Amino acid sequence: MSIDKETARRVAHLARIAVADADLEPLARQLSGILGFMEQLNEVDVAGVEPMTSVTPMAAPLRADVVTEGGQPDRILMNAPDARAGFFTVPKVVE
Amino acid sequence: MSLTDLTIAEARARLRSRDLGAIELADAAIEAAAGAGALNAFSSLTPDRARRQATEAAARLKAGDAPDLCGIPLGIKDLFCVEDAPAQAASRILEGFRPPYESTVTAQLWQAGAVCVGKLNMDEFAMGSSNETSVYGPVVSPWRRRGDTAPLTPGGSSGGSAAAVAGSLVLGATGTDTGGSIRQPAAFTGTVGVKPTYGRCSRWGIVAFASSLDQAGPMTRTVRDAAIMLKAMAGHDPKDSTSADRPVPDFEAALTGDMRGRKIGIPREYRVDGMPAEIEAIWQQGADWLRAAGAEIVEVSLPHTKYALPAYYVIAPAEASSNLARYDGVRYGRRARLSANEGITALYERTRAEGFGAEVRRRIMVGTYVLSAGYYDAYYLRAQKVRTLIKRDFETVFDAGVDAILTPATPSSAFAIGAMAEADPVQMYLNDVFTVTVNLAGLPGAAVPAGLDASGLPLGLQVIGRPWDEAGMLDVAFTLERASGFAASPEKWW
């Protein structure tokens, strides 16, 4: 499966990672190489096989619907690059 | 011989008999770590915390309330959140991050009286097999080839952990293993590395790479030490919904060295083309040792082995792309500096481009691709089906009465730093060929040193156990350790 420059651009955008235009071709080649390695999986007969969703057979545990912690805005904001008035702040999202 | 050359078991005995003080031992480790800058094994040192914990440990030892790890100096892989110590996962994108919480595994270690010497260097976000992708720079293995000063890798991603244990900077270290990141560096450095059954240790507070594959585990100089550490690290955690609600056995009590009645499987598909003769020889030697201890050795087949690496390199990057989506410059870590007209998309795209290293960016993008519309079925779903078949291969072998499986741990001994720099990424991935199957199947696996190669570098063997049978697996590893008499340690050049 060969990845072209436009697909590489689309994937980079989906991943929200900026890639300079000049780097898109090399990226496409590298991704193609890695994905080529995975082509081998097509040799396997997977008819009737369930995809593995749980490594160890277990049901997702439930817990009581009660608040167990919270009310500590300082700790939550302490690593924020830009926190103001108790909020995380970012550049304007909606035009 | 330095105090830090003691095993955990030896130190435990001497601490309890008052022959050795906890503060004295902590100081020895702090000094050893401070003097080992050339190895670059630590990402940050925590001497004040260590001394404080050692003082508390000394009081507990005096009062006669001393759990196994009380007063034992350990190193913690940077991937674990230790409260108020830096946790960067060796990445620029988490620079400055200091967690206001403690991972469950490390909380258990501190409750047991262990002493934190520092955070250990690793591959960025645990993605790598040589500790060369770290923002802190590569770890240099304490091992060197005979008559050669070229710096070697300690393996990865838990390279700092392996180097710190092998170099006697600490008595034990925590690692994490997603595709082999505990077992491969243990094999490269002549140490013991254990990845428990998926769910045995809590993942809460450990920076996530691939949620269905990650497991924390101990890295030590002996199997007994690994058993001691694993017991303290393991256990159900309600904060981790994938952690198993199962009692933790006394792994140390299971170490008998008696293999009578045990059946050990040798999987034919692990004999790969181009495998070095020395690896083949040590594998055969391991089987002979187990046979001499009373085990029945049988050849078994794990037919889907060759598909494990490609399946892993679909599933792990896919899960990573999801887990690493949270690093967006909003709530923690690095945020890109923007110009006045740049908005939220630029914030995400430039923060992540600047913050993630090349290997991490590559894997996120592979993962994004295989999960994207139009490709999900062809890649991710298919890989998940192959994963079911890989697990089923092991179940079939275990159902036939096999207690544990013996394989090589790595396809070579440690290689030089920079040796793979020009190779394509897939070449580096091949380092994990013997280890990824174990993560895909959720099984416990242990690497134990078995001998040295012609250039004087360690070679390890891998034992794969039945689900939840870390005790049985460790007993096989213990038997190999006793038979090999492996006592080599790196000559101190740093």
What is the token pair recorded at B452?
A: 């040295």
CA proximity to B470, closest of B150, B161, B216, B162: B216
Give the minimum alpha-carbon distance from B352 to chain A in angstroms, rounded to a whole number: 5
CA proximity to B71, closest of B2, B136, B120, B13: B13
Tracing tokens 């794969």 back to the chain, one arrives at: B464
Of B198, B349, B389, the CB nearest to A17: B349
Of A15, A38, A50, the CB nearest to B364: A15
Find the Cα–Cα–Cα–Cα dihedral B259, B264, B270, B276, rounded to 10°: 30
Residue B91 to residue B362: CA distance in whole angstroms: 14
Q: Give the least confident one: A1-5, A14-18, B220-224, B432-436.
A: A1-5
Residue B43: exposed, middle, or buried by beta-carbon count in 10 A (0-12, 13-18, 19+)?
buried
Give the minimum alpha-carbon distance from A62 to chain B in angstroms, rounded to a whole number: 9
Residue B21 to residue B43: CA distance in whole angstroms: 27
Residue B189 to residue B168: CA distance in whole angstroms: 12
Residue B455: exposed, middle, or buried by beta-carbon count in 10 A (0-12, 13-18, 19+)?
middle
What is the token pair recorded at B451?
A: 């001998």
| Closest-approach residue (CA) in chain B for A34 | B426
Residues of B in contact with A14 (CB under 8 A): 368, 372
Cβ–Cβ of A14/B368 closer than 8 Å? yes
ipTM of the complex: 0.94
What is the token pair recorded at A39?
A: 């082509």
Is B77 noted as a catalytic residue in this protein?
A: yes
- Residue B258 is predicted with a pLDDT of 96
Cβ–Cβ of B424/A93 closer than 8 Å? no
Residues with Cβ within 8 Å of B320's Cβ and at least 6 positions away in sequence, in order, are: B125, B127, B209, B210, B360, B363, B364, B367
Helix or strand (DSSP H, E) at B307: none
Which residues pair with residue B460 across a beta bridge? B449
SS3 state of residue B235: coil
CB B224 within 8 A of CB B471: no
Q: What is the pLDDT of residues B74-96, one digit of tens each?
A: 999 999 999 989 999 999 999 99
Helix or strand (DSSP H, E) at B215: strand B215-220
Give the minimum alpha-carbon distance from A58 to chain B in angstroms, rounded to a whole number: 8
SS3 state of residue B267: strand
SS3 state of residue B81: coil
Catalytic residue among B43, B103, B157, B168: B157
CB B31 within 8 A of CB B87: no
DSSP state of A74: H
Residues with Cβ within 8 Å of B212's Cβ and at least 6 positions away in sequence, in order, are: A55, B198, B242, B315, B319
Strands B296-300, B263-267: pairing is parallel
- Residue B421 is predicted with a pLDDT of 81
Of B213, B311, B365, the CB nearest to A12: B365
Residues of B in contact with A92 (CB under 8 A): 343-344
Q: What is the pLDDT of residues B442-478, one digit of tens each?
A: 999 999 999 999 999 999 999 999 999 999 999 999 9
The low-confidence residues of chain B, meaning pLDDT below 70, are none
Catalytic residue among B43, B91, B134, B181: B181
Model confidence at A94: pLDDT above 90: no
- Is residue A24 very low, low, confident or very high in pLDDT (cuts 50, 70, 90)? very high
| Closest-approach residue (CA) in chain A for B336 | A81
Residues with Cβ within 8 Å of B102's Cβ and at least 6 positions away in sequence, in order, are: B81, B82, B83, B110, B205
CA proximity to B353, closest of A77, A13, A89, A53: A13
- Residue B422 is predicted with a pLDDT of 79
Model confidence at A36: pLDDT above 90: no
Residue B33 to residue B50: CA distance in whole angstroms: 12
| Angle, CA of B249, B251 and B257, to the nearest 5° | 135
CB pairs under 8 A between A and B: 163
Model confidence at A1: pLDDT above 80: no
- Residue B280 backbone class (left: φ over 0; alpha: ψ -120 to 50; beta: rest): alpha
User: Taking the model in full, what pTM does it have?
Assistant: 0.96
- Residue B332 is predicted with a pLDDT of 95
Residues of A in contact with B366 (CB under 8 A): 31, 34-35
- Residue B274 is predicted with a pLDDT of 81
Residue B341 to residue B321: CA distance in whole angstroms: 28
Helix or strand (DSSP H, E) at B232: helix B223-233
Q: What is the pLDDT of residues B354-369, one digit of tens each?
A: 999 999 999 999 999 9
CB B380 within 8 A of CB B238: no
